[in-house]
Amino acid sequence: MNRTPKAGAAYNPNPPSRLPIRIKFVCSIILLLFLAIALKAFELQVINRDLAIDIGTRQHKTLFTLLSRRGKILDINNKELAMNVDSQSIYLRPKNITEPDVFVAELSAALSIPEEELRNAVISDRSFKWIKRLADNETAAKIKSLNIKGVGFLKEPKRFYPNIHLAGQLIGFTDVDSKGIEGLEYYYDDILAGKAGEIVAKKDGHGREIIVEPDELDPGTSGNDIVLTIDSNIQYIVEQELKSGVEKSQGSKGIAALMNPETGAVLAMASYPFLDINNKGDYPEITQRNLPVWYSFEPGSTLKIFLVTAALEENKVLPSTTFDCLGGRRKVGNTVINDLKPYRELTISDIIKLSSNVCASLLAEELGKELYYDYLSKFGYGAKTRIDMPGESTGKLIHYRLWGPVELATHSFGQGISVTAIQLATALSAIANGGFLMKPYIVQRIIGRDGSNYKEIKPFVVRKVLSYDTTQAATKMLEGVTTRGGSGTKAAVPGYRIAGKTGTAQVANPKTGGYYSERTIASFIGFAPADDPKITLVVIVEDPKTNPYGGVVAAPIFKAISEKVLFYMGVPPTRSYAQTKIMPNLKGLSARDILKWAEREGVEVKLTGSGYATSHQPGVGERITDDTVYRINLEQSL
């Protein structure tokens, strides 16, 4: 239908076109999409250029990860405790295998791998496949001698512990992927791990691997080294004497922790039975635990010194204050407290020296449960010490509001509370150093990849616990324990003043909530020399069969360790001794290093075998003379 223009209006045969709203909307969407693409292109090409290159590279290549070269773990004298050795890893190039059946039969027999597993690897569409990581030298040599086409070898770093079980639970270990899973290897994994290397395999346009070039690889970067506060010579002494004492008493396990009371630096830490970390799979999980930080137990009478120091600090008593010990028997509620002997009137000093449970319970009442709990907390009980080790236990310290008269009494002589050896050593060090609770630590410094100090760990004061006068009074009491008539005379070291405390506690039965009838924890804690402490030492023996008491079982171990360690450290005795030398720990050293040491010291050595030292005579810590001949056994244990 034609429309007639209105009168007076001009006629335009080509009116201006108007785009429909739909078309405008579509155009706007397209414009926005182009803008988004442009922004993304700018981001990839300018802002995140490296990421874009990496994405493009991975579209054309496959990267196979090699094991990282972890940093070394060194003792305080830079002796290697954990290191890397080059090992052969065996791989397949399936597309190079021309006779699969022959290949599978030969390799299956040589590697003891099921034929079906190898056959699946051979028919894989991958151009590269691992079949044996970190093969031992004998296996690698055997495969190489077969000269099988399609098999290749690459060097990878294998974690190796040259000192066998020395500080095994403390050092820990790694898994098959070289990742730390226990001990220091786990705690400092980020520091030690480094960056893993990579092998490059190319891809075609369809993403299929077309060639692999093992020589085209990124070697990665090594991890940082860590230097410990541990002295391997002292560690060896502690382990040998702990082992000897536990076996002599027929105990089930032994624990020792030795530290510098002034700084909190741990000089040695031992768990027995020992762990050979090169063959960790041969040991049960409990043996892999670092007992001084993980295992908690009731401390028994070793806790009495902390009760006494709290009472002295609060001016509740003086060292000369006396208590009537009621003939060695006291009933509290429905519980009867007994002493080994029927003591009557004892001074505070005598309560520590003779270890009276009855008088300790009376002293706890004099102090009061709130103050006693407060001081136990200040000493660090019921909380982690925050030592740089994994798996630390807090122990158990129930709040004083839940204590009745019986709980207050039992806490006075170390029952109803559980502690760890590192807690005991740290708390006792606060008495030895004049009243300061130090944070214990095991790593002294971290070394950067360029060999410079990346980080150095300094001693850290957690809090002030006691006054100097209180610690001096407590030290005199602890000296009385190891002198004539005391409960710990077997811990006395000739020529040195020794401060210490015995402990005997029942082993808690978690199933019944009570105690095992014939199982005990025998312990001795102490520091030396008492007049200028250089070491704090805690010794624990669980379930000794020959005798249940700490003064009989643990005290002799304390003496044997302290005597050798003080001599090794060059701490002079209070009275003159003949001028002698002490045998260092040579275990784990190569023949070359031993010969260098012998030349430096001007001594005669006789080597048997080859490789690394596994044992020697004289033993570590033994006194030697100028005419001593050193006999050293070597074994090739790589």
Residues classed as catalytic: 301
Give the chain's count of helices (H) and strands (E): 19, 28
Contact 232, 75 (CB under 8 A): yes
Residues 6+ apart with CB under 8 A from 128: 62, 64, 91, 92, 93, 199, 201, 209, 212, 214
- Which residues sit opposite 213 in a β-bridge? 200
Q: What pairing do the DSSP bridges indicate for beta strands 629-635 and 461-464? A: unpaired
How many CB atoms within 10 Å of residue 267?
A: 25
Peptide bond into 618 cis (omega under 30): yes
Residues 6+ apart with CB under 8 A from 166: 81, 232, 235, 236, 239, 587, 588
Cα separation of 481 and 477, whole Å?
Answer: 7
Phi, psi of 81 (to 5 degrees): -105, -30
Cα separation of 348 and 350, whole Å?
Answer: 5
Cα separation of 528 and 541, whole Å?
Answer: 21
Cα separation of 618 and 586, whole Å?
Answer: 11
Cα separation of 569 and 535, whole Å?
Answer: 10
H or E stretch including 561?
helix 550-569
Cα separation of 277 and 83, whole Å?
Answer: 12
